[in-house]
Amino acid sequence: MNFKKYLEGNKNIIEMALDDYLPSEEKPPSIIHKAMRYSVFGGGKRIRPILTLATAELFERDAESVIKAACGIELIHTFSLIHDDLPCIDNDDFRRGKPSNHKVFGEAIALLAGDALLVYGFDLIIKNSELKGIKKQSILKLIKETSFYIGTENMLGGQVEDITLKSENITKEGLNNLYMKKTAALICLSIRAGAILSDANQRQLKALTKYGENIGLAFQIVDDMLDIMQDQRNMGKPTYANKYGIKESKSESERLIKVAKDSLKIFGKKAETLRSLADYLLTRRK
């Protein structure tokens, strides 16, 4: 199948499900439901839930058996973006070319909308237990993994380093570690979710985690390059592009994508979609 069509098809499945699961804008207290929907339907690429669906597909599981967990992870991602933009963190007035959540709804509601999306995210992961062929034990494992990958040892901790470390003081290893936590952790979780819900074995989980870590690192390096090339943001921040320039960022992201694809060897041809997804992350323009 044409890969562009695959992405579009899965994006539609995810958006329809998200619309179905989220409270309507009219439901009281209406303002927070409006704020949540504003950011959830604000033009995201849906990379993380697409990765969950694609990983489940590798184990011949259809989208229907993992869709709630996939959407839960997208809600957690959206929570992190709303909080990231707040004046007390990155102070960004725009997200995806539109006014950021706090610019439209005010800081207090934006903060609460982020909190609510985090809670709903966990709720949807738990509700994935209602879907066909899912073991309760896998859901427990996934909840534990979610807490770990978004907690202070990973996404949250990465965000702390992002706002406290200075570009001039950070080493390559330190930057790698920061990217692993801030960005690669949630990407790894998205992939591991698809694998755990499909009863993958340890060897398969290990290979998929290596794939996730490497595409996650590449994703952040590409993101920093796009920021610099498109609107000169992040000046002085600890980013690969600021420290090593565009040329080295490009070759490092290409190297990481190669390592990611090589780590899928044990799956043979069945992992073709995950390989195409890795290539797509390298060539994306937003």
Q: Which is nearer to ligand GRG, 80 or 101 (CB)?
A: 80
Q: Which residue has the CB atom at the shortest distance from ligand GRG?
A: 44
103 neighbors 90 (Cβ within 8 angstroms): no
Where helices occur in 106-171 by DSSP H, the ranges are 107-127, 136-150, 155-164
- Per CB under 6 A, 44 contacts ligand GRG: yes
Q: Using the rule CB under 6 A, is 151 a contact of ligand GRG?
A: no
Tokens matching residue 225: 């390059």
Shortest Å distance, C-beta 11 to ligand GRG: 10
HEC states along 1-70?
Answer: CCHHHHHHHHHHHHHHHHHHHCCCCCCCCHHHHHHHHHHHCCCCCCHHHHHHHHHHHHCCCCHHHCHHHH
Q: Which is nearer to ligand GRG, 58 or 221 (CB)?
A: 221
List the beta bridge partners of residue 98.
Answer: 95
Are 74 and 40 in contact by the 8 Å Cβ rule? The answer is: yes
CB 52 within 8 A of CB 274: no
Q: Which of 4, 27, 45, 135 binds ligand GRG (CB under 6 A)?
A: 45
Q: Cα–Cα distances in Å, from 178 out to 2, 79, 171, 238, 242? A: 35, 19, 10, 9, 15
Q: Of 227 and 272, which has the nearer Cβ to ligand GRG?
A: 227
Binding mask 164-193 for ligand GRG (x = CB under 6 A): ------------------xx----------
* Residue 44 C-beta: closest distance to ligand GRG, Å: 3
Nearer to ligand GRG, 84 or 213 (CB): 84
For the chain, the C-alpha Rg in angstroms (whole number) is 18
At its nearest, how many Å lie between ligand GRG and the CB of residue 266?
A: 27
**Among 4, 96, 172, 255, interactor with ligand GRG by CB under 6 A:** 96
Selected range binding ligand GRG among 9-17, 22-30, 39-47, 256-264, rule: CB under 6 A = 39-47
Report residue 272 as tokens.
Answer: 């073709």
Residue 63 or 185 with smaller CB distance to ligand GRG: 185
First to last CA, the chain: 23
Among residue numbers 221 through 250, which ones bind ligand GRG (CB under 6 A)? 223
Asked if 147 touches ligand GRG (CB under 6 A), the answer is no
* Binding-residue pattern over the window 98 to 117 for ligand GRG, x denoting contact by CB under 6 A: --------------------
Q: CA 236 to CA 215: how far, in whole Å? A: 25
Site for ligand GRG, rule CB under 6 A: 44-45, 47, 80-81, 83-84, 96, 155-156, 159, 182-183, 220, 223
